[in-house]
Amino acid sequence: MQEENKVAQTYDKVLARVKEVCLKSNRDFSKVNILVVTKYANQEQIRQLLSKRQVFAVGQSKLQDTLTKFSGPQLKNFKVKKFFIGHLQTNKAAKVLETFDLICSLDSLHLAEVLNKQAQKQNKKALCLLQIKLTDKQTQSGLKIEEVPAFIEQVQTLYPNIELKGLMAIAPQGAPEEIKAAFKKAKAVFDNHFKEQDYLSLGMSGDFEIALEQGSNLLRIGSAIFD
Ligand SMILES: *Cc1c(COP(=O)(O)O)cnc(C)c1O
């Protein structure tokens, strides 16, 4: 097997697993998107994938790393959508808004305020997913589920340049049953506040099968592709 094809082939294997779970759990594969998380991948690995496969979007958690990787000679000619998945500090909001097509990690009203202001300056909408928290851990960012309704209402009334496109959450650490229950909760919140065509982003390399079964339509997969 040629080394050149390895990343594309690993990607295909992930796709095959996604398809299989869709079949088993009665999900429409054409409505499931894969955010290819490139934060651990080097430019050459990313180039190999992008030159062989059309991907929905790439996910990055750090601004500087994104600029370095994607403006470098190997990748600058690839047109690919970029989603920001890391914790966003307000001092980076302007540049993140310029660089990324969607921010998956809106987690405070203060950040919403800053993003709204920057989006107005840049004469665009800031497309965002609300990050919700599925654990009680202090270290995890995200809104508590019970804070979601008021948050959405405030964003809609106060920040016209923010467009909420769905929810993002990271699974709690735990047994599959625990993860499943947490994803179920996220799906219920999603169904209450968003439309089917919005994004419910649950699931990473270790738990995307459970996430798919529970209704995720935007899997965020890194290490399973770039292993
Ligand atoms: C790193 C990261 C991922 C991808 O994780 P893998 O386990 O490598 O698939 C997904 N979502 C977020 C928010 C991340 O930070």
SS3 127: strand
pLDDT at 7 over 90: yes
47 lines ligand 1 (CB under 6 A): no
Cα of 38 from ligand 1 centre, angstroms: 9
Instruction: Choose one of 65, 104, 139, 204 to mutate for the ligand 1 pocket test, by most ligand atoms within 8 angstroms of C-beta.
Output: 204
Domain that holds residue 60: 3-226
Q: What is the secondary structure of 15-53 as a DSSP string? A: HHHHHHHHHHTT--GGG-EEEEE-TT--HHHHHHHHHH-
3-state secondary structure 144-198: CHHHHHHHHHHHHHHCCCEEEEEEEECCCCCCHHHHHHHHHHHHHHHHHHCCCCC
Average pLDDT of span 31-57: 97
- What sign results for the dihedral spanned by CA atoms 37, 202, 61, 84? positive
Do residues 102 and 84 lie in contact, with contact meaning Cβ atoms separated by under 8 Å?
yes
Cα of 117 from ligand 1 centre, angstroms: 28
Domain count along the chain: 1
pLDDT at 64 over 90: yes
Instruction: Take atom 12 of ligand 1 and give the residue whose Cα is closest.
Output: 85
- Answering whether pTM is above 0.75, one says yes
Quote the tokens at residue 52: 């062989």
Each residue's pLDDT tens digit, 120-141: 999 999 999 999 999 988 788 8
Cα of 36 from ligand 1 centre, angstroms: 9
CATH of residue 49's domain is 3.20.20.10
Cα of 223 from ligand 1 centre, angstroms: 8
